[in-house]
């Protein structure tokens, strides 16, 4: 697949202070009131991130970013207009519980598809395939890949497997520091409490684009993160409808447009081809 480098301005950019405080923003919606028949109801409640520039960032009560654009497109294909969407903040640690408890109808929040998560929730997609990378302070030239994290303090968000991919799967002896979300990780990196932050390159690219004088994206990607739309268990019919919407979104150019508008001048590159979608179980 052909990769394309992004050089457009960061859409809906906000100051770092907003990103660092957005995690405390009150939820919007959260009633789980969507019609599950695919032909639209009064509202649909969607969980997204509120603290990730370029992906899901709260701006005065309304989230913006790539995941938000994707979720809006999918909702409209399901029969919901934009003003029928109720947005709820879905942190990494509460995505499964939100779906199990009916707090949301679906989640588009850099939600990587894994076998472990499939045991408790369903997924449509993936709608995008990211890779993992590392973010350091701008002046740090010592960390240029996972091997350089040996003996370093590494931050990742609660509910994410990113840091464990390095310490467990790759066997690198880094000291883990778990934070509530990536905004907290950025605070710890900024004040020198941790040496690096690791997660998906999409997430890191958003932070790096907003704060190029403070943070440096290593741009040495590894692994694979397949972003899916999280659904309550047993949502086979809804999964199939969303997969159709994802295919259309890539074929009509909307997905590429969303990626271009979401990320600023970083070395992050994205694939222009439709991801290979999983079958709905």
How confident is the prediction for the chain on average, in pLDDT? Answer: 84
Q: Are 5 and 267 in contact (CB under 8 A)?
A: yes
Q: Above 50 in pLDDT, residue 16?
A: no
Mean pLDDT of 190-216: 90
Q: What is the pLDDT of residues 58-71, one digit of tens each?
A: 988 889 999 999 99
Residue 119 CA, chain-centre distance (Å), reads: 21
Which of 129-133, 150-154, 205-209, 224-228 is predicted with the least confidence, judged by mean pLDDT?
205-209
CA-to-CA distance for 79 and 34, rounded, in angstroms?
A: 11
Other beta carbons within 10 angstroms of residue 174's beta carbon come to 22
* pLDDT at position 48: 97
Q: Which two tokens stand for residue 9?
A: 């301005």
* pLDDT at position 2: 35
* pLDDT at position 22: 36
Mean pLDDT of 72-83: 97
> What are phi and psi for residue 42, nearest 5 degrees?
-70, -45
Strand intervals (E) in the chain:
3-5, 44-48, 51-52, 56-59, 62-64, 85-89, 106-107, 121-137, 153-157, 175-179, 196-200, 215-217, 222-232, 269-271
Domains defined along the chain, listed by start:
3-129+227-271 (3.40.190.10), 131-223 (3.40.190.10)
Query: Sorting pLDDT into bands at 50, 70 and 90, what band is 267?
Result: low
* pLDDT at position 53: 87
Q: Above 70 in pLDDT, residue 228?
A: yes
* pLDDT at position 281: 81
| Residue 142 DSSP symbol | S
Q: Above 50 in pLDDT, residue 244?
A: yes
Query: Sorting pLDDT into bands at 50, 70 and 90, what band is 236?
Result: very high
Helix, strand, or coil (residue 33): coil
Query: Sorting pLDDT into bands at 50, 70 and 90, what band is 158?
Result: confident
Mean pLDDT of 170-178: 93
* pLDDT at position 101: 96
Q: What is the pLDDT of residues 25-57, one digit of tens each?
A: 333 333 444 444 445 569 999 999 998 888 999
Report if pTM > 0.85.
no
């Amino acid at each position: 697949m052909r990769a394309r480098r992004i050089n457009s301005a960061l859409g809906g950019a906000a100051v770092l202070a907003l990103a660092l405080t957005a995690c405390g923003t009150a939820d919007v919606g959260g009633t789980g009131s969507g019609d599950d028949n695919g032909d639209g109801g009064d509202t649909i409640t969607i969980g997204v991130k509120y603290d990730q520039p370029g992906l899901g960032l709260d701006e005065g009560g309304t989230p913006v970013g790539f995941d938000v654009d994707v979720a809006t497109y999918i909702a409209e294909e399901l029969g919901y207009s934009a003003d029928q969407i109720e947005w709820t903040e879905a942190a990494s640690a509460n995505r499964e519980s939100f779906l199990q408890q009916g707090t949301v109808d679906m989640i588009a929040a850099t939600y990587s598809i894994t076998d472990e998560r499939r045991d408790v929730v369903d997924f449509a997609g993936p709608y995008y395939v990211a890779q993992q990378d590392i973010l350091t302070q701008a002046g740090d030239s010592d960390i240029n890949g996972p091997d350089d994290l040996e003996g370093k303090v590494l931050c990742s968000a609660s509910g994410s497997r990113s840091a464990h991919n390095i310490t467990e799967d790759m066997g690198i002896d880094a000291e883990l520091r778990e934070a509530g979300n990536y905004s907290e990780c950025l605070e710890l990196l900024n004040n020198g409490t941790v040496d690096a932050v690791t997660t998906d390159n999409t997430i890191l690219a958003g932070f790096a684009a907003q704060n190029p004088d403070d943070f440096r994206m290593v741009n040495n990607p590894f692994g694979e993160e397949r972003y899916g739309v999280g659904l309550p268990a047993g949502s086979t019919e809804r999964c199939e409808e969303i997969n159709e919407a994802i295919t259309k979104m890539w074929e009509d150019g909307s997905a590429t447009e969303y990626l271009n508008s979401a990320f600023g001048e970083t070395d992050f590159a994205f694939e222009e081809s439709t991801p290979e979608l999983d079958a709905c179980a």
